[in-house]
C-alpha cells in the first residue's frame, strides 16, 4: 500500500507502548482491505497535549491504553453510554469535528466469549474487580448473564457487584460449583508469572467455559488446566483481536478481517 496525502493516520497512545501488538494487527487489516490508513504507536505522558495534537493533525482514530483510559474521558467531546458506565475509554474516533470515546474491550470480550458459549441466563464468575473486570462484568450483564464478582479484596469486589446488582464472592471462598463460565481478568498467569493460576484446580469443572484475558503467554496455566479438566477455553488473543476488530469497524466502516488479525497477533507473540 502506498502512503500518500490522503492516508488516514491512527495510533495507540499510552505508556508503555513499545510492545503493543495493535500496530501490526491494524496495519495488516488496513493492507488486507485496501483501506488507505496507517497505524503507529505514540508513547504519551502529557495526555492533554496529545489530545490537542490529535485534533490539530486530524489523526482519525486512536486506541487508548494504560495509564490513560480513565483520564482521557474528560478531554473528549462525547462518550458513548457503555464507556461512561464502565468508566473507561479505549477507542477514540475523530470525525473531523468532534472526538468521540468508545469502549471496545467490553464488546470485544463478549464477541470472543460468544464464539464458544451463550451468555444469557448463564452463571458467570468474573475474577477481579479492576478496569478489565469492569469491561467484562458490564458486558456479561448487557448480554443477560447472571454475574458473580469474585475478588481477593472485599471492598472493591462488593462495589462492582453492587453497581451491577450482582453477587460477590471472596476469591478464597470460590469453589466453582454452579458456574457455567469463569473469566479471569487479573494479571495472575501473565509472563513472567506463568506458573500461577488465579483459582484452584478443583474450581475447573467439565462443561465450563473458561476465559483468560491474559495473552502472554499464548496459553496460560489456567487455560491449560481448564482444557485438561474438560472445559471449553477462550484465550486472551481472541479478546484482543475482537476488541481491535470493533475499533477497525468503527474507524473504517468496513468489515474487519478477524482471522487475518488473529494470525498476525499469534505470529507476533511466537
Q: Report the interface residues with ligand ATR, using CB under 6 A.
A: 128-133, 151-153, 156, 171, 185-188, 198
Distance CA 224, CA 49 (A): 44
We find the least distance from the C-beta atom of residue 129 to ligand ATR, in angstroms, to be 4
Does the annotation flag 21 for ligand binding? yes
We find the least distance from the C-beta atom of residue 26 to ligand ATR, in angstroms, to be 22
Output 29 or 86, the one with its CB closest to ligand ATR: 86
Output 3 or 70, the one with its CB closest to ligand ATR: 70
Strands 167-170 and 181-184: unpaired
**Minimal CB distance to ligand ATR: which residue?**
130
Does the annotation flag 187 for ligand binding? no
Does the annotation flag 131 for ligand binding? yes
Output 140 or 188, the one with its CB closest to ligand ATR: 188
Does the annotation flag 215 for ligand binding? yes
We find the least distance from the C-beta atom of residue 164 to ligand ATR, in angstroms, to be 15
Catalytic residues: 69
Residues 106 and 138 sit within 8 Å (Cβ to Cβ): yes
We find the least distance from the C-beta atom of residue 224 to ligand ATR, in angstroms, to be 18
Residues 63 and 89 sit within 8 Å (Cβ to Cβ): no
We find the least distance from the C-beta atom of residue 160 to ligand ATR, in angstroms, to be 9
Output 185 or 209, the one with its CB closest to ligand ATR: 185
**DSSP assignments along 114-141, one per residue:** HTT---TT-EEEEE--SHHHHHHHHHHH
- 166 contacts: CB under 8 Å, gap ≥ 6: 137, 141, 146, 147, 148, 149
Cα dihedral 270/237/226/172 (nearest 10) = 110
Does the annotation flag 105 for ligand binding? yes
Output 117 or 187, the one with its CB closest to ligand ATR: 187
Does the annotation flag 232 for ligand binding? no
Residues belonging to the binding site are 20-22, 65, 90, 105, 128-132, 213, 215, 236, 243
Residues belonging to the binding site for NADP(+) are 128-132, 213, 236
Residues belonging to the binding site for shikimate are 20-22, 65, 90, 105, 215, 243
Amino acid at each position: 500500500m502506498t502512503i500518500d496525502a490522503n492516508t488516514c493516520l491512527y495510533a495507540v497512545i499510552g505508556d508503555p507502548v513499545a510492545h503493543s501488538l495493535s500496530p501490526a494487527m491494524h496495519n495488516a487489516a488496513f493492507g488486507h482491505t485496501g483501506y488507505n490508513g496507517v497505524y503507529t504507536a505514540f508513547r504519551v505522558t502529557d495526555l492533554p497535549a496529545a489530545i490537542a495534537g490529535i485534533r490539530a493533525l486530524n489523526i482519525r482514530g486512536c486506541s487508548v491504553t494504560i495509564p490513560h483510559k480513565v483520564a482521557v474521558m474528560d478531554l473528549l467531546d462525547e462518550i458513548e453510554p457503555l464507556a461512561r458506565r464502565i468508566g473507561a475509554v479505549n477507542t477514540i474516533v475523530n470525525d473531523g469535528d468532534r472526538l468521540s470515546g468508545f469502549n471496545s474491550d467490553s464488546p470485544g470480550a463478549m464477541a470472543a466469549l460468544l464464539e464458544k458459549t451463550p451468555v444469557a441466563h448463564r452463571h458467570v464468575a468474573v475474577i477481579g474487580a479492576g478496569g478489565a473486570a469492569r469491561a467484562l462484568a458490564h458486558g456479561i450483564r448487557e448480554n443477560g448473564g447472571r454475574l458473580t464478582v469474585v475478588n481477593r479484596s472485599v471492598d472493591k469486589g462488593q462495589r462492582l457487584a453492587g453497581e451491577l446488582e450482582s453477587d460477590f464472592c471472596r476469591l478464597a471462598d470460590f469453589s466453582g460449583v454452579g458456574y457455567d463460565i469463569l473469566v479471569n481478568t487479573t494479571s495472575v498467569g501473565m509472563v513472567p508469572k506463568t506458573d500461577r493460576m488465579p483459582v484452584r484446580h478443583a474450581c475447573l469443572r467439565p462443561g465450563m467455559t473458561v476465559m483468560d484475558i491474559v495473552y502472554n503467554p499464548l496459553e496460560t496455566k489456567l487455560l491449560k488446566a481448564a482444557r485438561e479438566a474438560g472445559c471449553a477455553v477462550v484465550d486472551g488473543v481472541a479478546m484482543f483481536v475482537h476488541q481491535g476488530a470493533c475499533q477497525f469497524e468503527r474507524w473504517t466502516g468496513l468489515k474487519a478481517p478477524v482471522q487475518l488479525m488473529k494470525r498476525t497477533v499469534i505470529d507476533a507473540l511466537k
